[in-house]
Copies of this chain bind each other. A is one copy, B any other.
Amino acid sequence: MRTPFLMLAACCVAQFAMAQHDDSLTIRRFSNEVLDHSTAYENLRVLTKTIGGRLAGSPQMVKAEKWGEAALKAAGADKVYTQECKVPHWVRGEKEQARIISNRRDFVPPLNILALGNSVGTGPKGVTAPVLEIHSFEELEQKKDQVKGKIVFYNYPFNKKFVKTFYSYGDAVRFRGAGPSRASKYGAVAVIVRSMSHSTDNHPHTGSTRYNDSFPKIAAVAIGLQDADRLSKRIANDPSAKVFLRTTCQMLPDTIGHNVIGELKGSEFPDEYITVGGHLDSWDVCEGAHDDGAGCVQSIEILRAFKAAGIRPKRTLRVVLFANEENGVRGGAKYAELAKANNEKHLFALESDAGGFTPRGFIMEMKPEQRARIKSWLPLFLPYGLYDFDEPGGGVDITPLHNQLGTPMAELSPDSQRYFDYHHAVSDTFEAVNKRELELGAVGMGALVYLVDKYGL
């Protein structure tokens, strides 16, 4: 009894080892193609330097969609098309103004701020009010009687102790999201939020806020870290200090945007899909290089390099450049809606939206046995520096697909140390992206797509 079993086992092990050897050679071929001939960096340069910031509804977004179609065709997609969707149309208006007003009449430089996305303006005359500094929602509740007529200043610092910076972001971002309406509830006239960053510079970091319709909508801005510290000191030492704030942003009626899609047709199961994508929109104030030009050009690169390296997927590979992640996720919602309406079979979805830095692994949202299968491929990823497959999570744009169809999803998890230095700030430029780091992200993503396509999930 034992010998045949052992022989079978030995046979299986040998087959597994041989398969892994074949896979490692294929992945190496793909990696060599990307590292030697990638067009991702040049694509990113064109997107960021010739188009720039591209918020939903902006003329730049229209240009970016055209660019995306052209880039997907140039990469060798069998089919390139778009999916129309309604998108919110928020405009920043004139350059924001903020300064400390004081009886002391000393010279005080202006405060470096940016209106939060989707926020209302102060009106053309601005608001001037005393400032109430708040460090937690509990403190806000305790001081609710002091809020009326004030500008509430959420000065909650990014926690430096987390090694993975997305935990610091998750910890702090509630003040940007819910802070304005929670302050408005008690009569605040505007809100200033300390930027979600531990950068050493003074750039404010914008991002969406979400109003609660039960309370008046009030103006809301992000402030740079150095100026947050300066403001905090000033109001502590100068009882006469007020802040003047002026923003003219507004939400216009919805307009039209598009997901831009390129396909590489599957050789065996053309009606089964693997989605790989990033989001094409970015905040208006930056080039959107890490967020998320990187994810777009990496996804396009996978298609290009698969073809160049002679890797023909069994399932259809869909590269999706999603519309409107930043202030609506309408592109991701539309993609899931159409997938469901068309009864499409989606094997797997992968996003890159955490920066174009050296990859370290994937966060994943899927059944335990699917995660275990992916983790069994670890030896194939280690030569490329990907080792971290344990954390939950998935991309914002593919979450609707995951929720609607149950599609297993993953997101590239790059080194996170620098991400929030640039995130939603003017410093998110092409120059902040390193060519090889960007390319290695595409290598890691492509390897995962190749293995999922070959072995299923």
Contacts and interface: CB of A to CB of B under 8 A. Distances in A.
B384 A387 contact: no
A200 B42 CA distance: 11
Nearest to A36: B160
Contact of A417 (B36, B388, B434): B434
Interface string A435-452: 111001000000000000
A430 to B, nearest CB: 11
Contact of A358 (B41, B387, B388, B417): B417
Nearest to A443: B163
A198 interface: yes
A41 to B, nearest CB: 8
B358 A161 contact: no
Interface string A387-402: 1100000000000000
Interface in A408-452: 415, 417-418, 421, 434-437, 440
A200 B436 CA distance: 10
A421 to B, nearest CB: 7
Number of copies: 2
A48 interface: no
A374 interface: no
Interface in A288-324: none
Contact of A163 (B198, B200, B384, B388): B384
A57 to B, nearest CB: 33
A212 interface: no
B160 A35 contact: yes
A360 interface: yes
A200 B433 CA distance: 11
B434 A385 contact: no
Nearest to A33: B161
Contacts of A161: 31-32, 35-36
Nearest to A420: B436
Most buried by B among A358, A388, A434, A436: A436
B421 A163 contact: no
Most buried by B among A35, A41, A198, A384: A35
Contact of A31 (B35, B163, B383, B418): B163
A421 B433 CA distance: 13
Nearest to A431: B200
Interface in A24-81: 31-32, 35-36, 41
Contacts of A435: 198, 200
B440 A383 contact: no
Contacts of A358: 358, 415, 417
Interface string A157-186: 000110101000000000000000000000
* Residue of A161, A383, A384 most packed against chain B (CB within 10 A): A161
Contacts of A35: 160-161, 163
Interface string A114-150: 0000000000000000000000000000000000000
A172 to B, nearest CB: 15
Contacts of A383: 163
A411 to B, nearest CB: 17
Nearest to A436: B417
A236 B257 CA distance: 50
Nearest to A38: B160
A160 B36 CA distance: 6
Nearest to A383: B163
Given A160-B36, A161-B36, A385-B163, A198 B415 contact: no
A36 B157 CA distance: 12
28 contacts: A31-B163, A32-B161, A35-B160, A35-B161, A35-B163, A36-B161, A41-B200, A160-B436, A163-B383, A163-B384, A163-B385, A163-B440, A165-B436, A198-B435, A198-B436, A358-B358, A358-B415, A358-B417, A385-B388, A385-B415, A387-B387, A415-B415, A417-B434, A417-B436, A417-B440, A418-B434, A418-B436, A421-B434
Given A163-B385, A387-B387, 12 more contacts: A31-B163, A35-B160, A41-B200, A160-B436, A163-B384, A163-B440, A165-B436, A198-B436, A200-B435, A358-B417, A360-B385, A385-B388
Task: Report the 8 A-B pairs with minimum CB-CB distance, sorted nearest first.
Answer: A387-B387, A417-B436, A35-B160, A417-B437, A32-B161, A358-B415, A358-B417, A35-B161
